[in-house]
Structure formats: structure tokens, C-alpha cells
Amino acid sequence: MVRALAFLVVIAALAYVAAQMADRPGSVTLHWQGWRVDTSVAVLVVTMGVIAATTALVYRLWLFLRRAPARLVQARNEGRRRRGYLALTRGMVAVAAGDPGDAMRQVKRAEVLLDEPPLTMLLSAQAAQLGGDEGAAERFFTAMLERTETEFLGLRGLLTQAQKRGDTSETLRLAERAYRLKPDSEWVAGSLFEQQVGAGRWADADATLTRSVKNGLVDGDLGRRRRAVLTHQQSLETASGGDAAGALSIARKAHELEPGFVPAAVHLAALYVDAEKVRKATPVIERAWRQSPHPDLLAAYHAAVAPTDALAWLQAVQRLADGGDDTENRLALAGAALEARLWGESRTHLEPVAGDRAPGRVCRLMAEIEGSEHGDLAQAHDWLMRAAHGKADPAWVCGECGNVADNWSAYCAKCTTFDSVAWQTPSHAPRLVEAAAQTVEPTIAEIELPDKVADEKTAPAS
């Protein structure tokens, strides 16, 4: 609409000018080189317009002829680039489809059509990997290191290859180089951290983790937990080197980072006991017990308080439990009461958690109570059978692969995942009825009977 209006305005303006010139034709006389030209103003204007239009057309033709060779070359190059990128795309599709033959054909075609090695080297390396030629892939990845724009891609490819062949030292070296290039990359920081942990370089791993938390790559709570584990490992390493004072200082840091971290609390308490600072050991265990009650803490507490007799130990456990009503607290109190031969008190603590799905530890303590208090071996046998077939006891379990370990470690021995081992009930606890039945009788025989009951069992019939 606007264009139509503009066209009409231009036509109207030209018509008005033509009308004015027709009404007032005027005359023009030109003298040049002895020539005289007499004409009207209208003819002069039209003649100048024709000359201007002809000049413009000639100029445009000259520009077209002048630029034609460059445009032909540009069009040819653009066609080659389009075909080259099409070959790259098809090569990527072939890699994704697992067709190494077609991938290599497309790579060669792209190399001919494109003069851009950074684009083709990565695809060449991937095609070589797909075809099983790891040597060629490594050569391509190594060549990529020579260019700034492809250095990181080359490092990532070489790092992946080193991981596949289990070359830990080379993997660590490449991860450190990649980290220097891109310290803010979550993948790079994670890879470097895993390699440092695997190599036992706890201090370096701590530095990497601290920077990752600062850069927002790792959650703050997770970072604090992992730092506690790393600091604990540093303390263990320092202690194994004979520096007890240094190990104690580092262990305190680990405990402050994560008070409920059982291995660190047990280690710190043991260092305090060795240093004859028992009064500092008991608060550490009590603080950890309130957050994460665990049998290892109970054993460490026994070593710290060094009770003079069973009743003193029961009183110490009562202070530790401090009214706690969970299974671990009940087991601790029941065990201490059983050791003091307070059968009724021990039973009182256990009965609320001795249901149909009672853990094996509860059942075994109930069996010991039955055998020790009343000498009822039949009832003890029933409890031991329930222990053999009932709910599994908590253990150190890897949260990633489910592997069950006897002791805690900084990473799973099976899947090598860092800080994945936690105290929990295994999801699978296979038990064989035959094996359980074979172990019941010896276990019953080991139950300590009270002197009076033992005498009655062994006395000859009258």
C-alpha cells in the first residue's frame, strides 16, 4: 500500500513537471567549438536524462565484468564448503550409527573439500576409534594438541583413551593439563578430582574440590562432606608416617567439618587416647554418636572411658545413649546390661525392636538373654534361626554398586566411586538355610550360662 502511494506520488510529480514544461517550453542555445545548437528546455532535460541512464548502465556492466572472476571463485568455494559440511554431517551420522567404513569415506571427502583441519581431525579420530584403530585415533588427538582451538578436544580424547587402557599416571597428567585450560569445566574438575583421589593425592584433591565449590561446580554441603573425607585420609597418612601430633591436628579439622563422620571421629578419639588426652576423646565420640550411632563408636568409647567393671560400663553407655530410642542405642544399652547380667533390663531395651523383622544383631542378643537368664536353649535356638533368616544387619555398603565391605574406605573397592560407602542395611543379603542351620548349634554352645543354670544342666539325674 505504501509503495503504491509512493509510486503514484512520483508519477504525479513527473506529470506536473512535464505539464509545466509544456506550458513554458522556453529555449536553450549552446555554442561549442563553432557549433550552435538551438533547442527547448524539455528536449535538453530529456537528453541529459538519457545520457545519465546510459552512463549508469555502462558503469554497472563494467562493475559486473570486473567482479565476475571473484564471484565465480567465491561461488565455487561456497559449493565446496557446502559439500564438505554435508560430508562432515554424514560422517557424524555414520559414527553415531556405528558404521566405521562410511565414516572414513565421509572424512576423506570432507578433507578434500574443506581446508579446515580442526573440523576434520576430531571426526577422523572418532572414526578411527570406531574402527578399532586406537593408534590412528591417538595420532589425530595428538595432532589436535598443536592448535589452540582444538587443544582441549585433543586432551579429552587422549584422556578417554588413557582411562580405557588403565594408564592412571597418563590420565592424571592429561587431566591436570585440561584443568589448566578449563578450570571452570565441571567434567574437567570432576575427572581431575577422581584421578587425584585414585592416586591417593589427598591434599591436591582437596585443593581441586575447594576451587570447585568456589566456582559453583559442587554443592556446598557435598563439598564439606568430601573435604572431611579427604582431611581424614590425610590424617591417616600422616599417622602412618609416625607424626602423631600432625595427625591429631588434621583429624580435628576432619571432625569439625563433619562431626557425624564415624571413621574420622573414631580415629580422632584413638589419637586422643594414645596421647593420654582421654577427657578430649569422650566428647568427640558423644558428639558423633548423637548424629550417627555406630558400633565402632561404642568400641572407641569403651577404650576411652576404660570402665572398671560391667556396671561402670553400663553407666557410661547410658550417658552416651542419653535417652536415644533408636535401634543402635537400644542395642548398646542391651549389650551393656547383658554384660552386667541385668537380664530384665537388657530384655526391656530389646523387646520394642524384636519384632518379626528384627535385625540379626537383635535376635542374637535375645538368644543370649534366653540362654543366659533361663538356660532356655530351645528359645535361644529359635532366636538364632530368626537371626539367620531375618532382616540383614547394617554394614558398610556402596551406594553406587551395592558392594558390601567389612570396613569403611574412602572409595568403593569394586566400582572405585569416591565417598560412596555408607553404613546402611544391604539391599540384598542372600542367606542359605543349610548354612544357617549348620551354624546354629555351635553358636548356642558358645552361650555363657549362669553358674547355677550350668550346674543344673550338668548335675546327674537323681
Does residue 434 or residue 108 have the better pLDDT? 108
The answer, yes or no, to whether residue 155 has pLDDT greater than 60, is: yes
What does the pLDDT read at residue 451?
47
Please give the backbone phi and psi of residue 133, each rounded to the nearest 5 degrees, phi first: -95, 80
CB of 429 closer than 8 Å to CB of 359: no
pLDDT single digits (tens) 387-401: 888 788 899 999 999
Give the pLDDT score at 454.
43
pLDDT at 252: 96
Give the integer Cα–Cα distance in Å for 231 and 238: 10
Which of the pair, 276 or 99, is modelled with greater confidence? 276
**Could you tell me the residue ranges of all domains in the chain?**
79-166, 219-304, 307-353, 358-390+431-462, 394-425
Residue 439 has pLDDT above 70, yes or no: no
Alpha-carbon dihedral angle through residues 245, 247, 250, 256, given to the nearest 10 degrees? -100
Average pLDDT of the residues in 185-194: 92
219 three-state secondary structure:
coil
313 with 336: CB under 8 angstroms? Answer: yes
Residue 456 pLDDT exceeds 50: no
For residues 109 and 85, give the distance between their C-alpha atoms in angstroms, rounded to a whole number. 10
CB under 8 Å to 422, separation ≥6 — which residues? 396, 397, 399
pLDDT (0 to 100) of residue 433: 36
- Kindly give the residue spans of alpha helices, DSSP state H, lying in 114-243: 117-130, 134-144, 151-164, 168-181, 186-198, 202-214, 220-240
CB contact set of 381 (below 8 Å; sequence gap of 6+): 367, 440, 444
Helix (H, G, I), strand (E, B) or coil at 292: coil
- Tell me the pLDDT of the chain averaged across its residues: 82
Per DSSP, 356 falls in state T
Report pLDDT digits (tens) over 279-323.
999 999 999 999 999 999 999 999 999 999 999 999 999 999 988
- For range 167-186, the mean pLDDT: 92
Alpha carbon 447 to its chain's center:
48
Position 95 confidence tier, pLDDT thresholds 50, 70, 90: low
Residue 385 clears pLDDT 80, i.e. is over it: yes
CA distances from residue 405 to 36, 52, 263, 400 in whole angstroms, order as listed:
117, 95, 14, 13
The answer to whether 248 touches 271, Cβ cutoff 8 Å, is yes
Tens of pLDDT, residue by residue over 333-381, are 999 999 999 989 999 999 998 888 888 899 999 999 888 887 778 888 8
Confidence of residue 50 (pLDDT cuts 50, 70, 90): confident
- Grid look-up 544342666 returns 457
pLDDT-derived band at 104 (thresholds 50, 70, 90) equals low
> For the chain, percent helix, then strand, then coil, each to nearest 5?
70, 5, 25
Among the listed residues 198, 200, 179, 201, the one whose alpha carbon sits nearest the alpha carbon of residue 188: 179
Asked if residue 255 lies in contact with residue 284, where contact means CB atoms within 8 angstroms, the answer is: yes
The predicted model scores a pTM of 0.70
Categorise residue 312: left if φ over 0, alpha if ψ from -120 to 50, beta otherwise.
Answer: alpha
DSSP 7-32: HHHHHHHHHHHHHHHHHS---EEEEE
The mean pLDDT of 189-201, rounded to a whole number, is 93
Closest CA to 419 of 296, 287, 234, 261: 261
Whether residue 131 is predicted with pLDDT greater than 90 in this model: the reply is: no
462, pLDDT greater than 50? no
pLDDT higher for 413 or 18? 413
Q: How many CA atoms lie within 13 A of 432 on its CB side?
A: 4
**CATH code given to domain 219-304:** 1.25.40.10
Is the pLDDT at 82 greater than 80, yes or no?
no
112 — pLDDT class (breaks 50, 70, 90): low
How confident is the model at residue 408, as a pLDDT? Answer: 95
- pLDDT tens digits for 236-274? 999 999 999 999 999 999 999 999 999 999 999 999 999
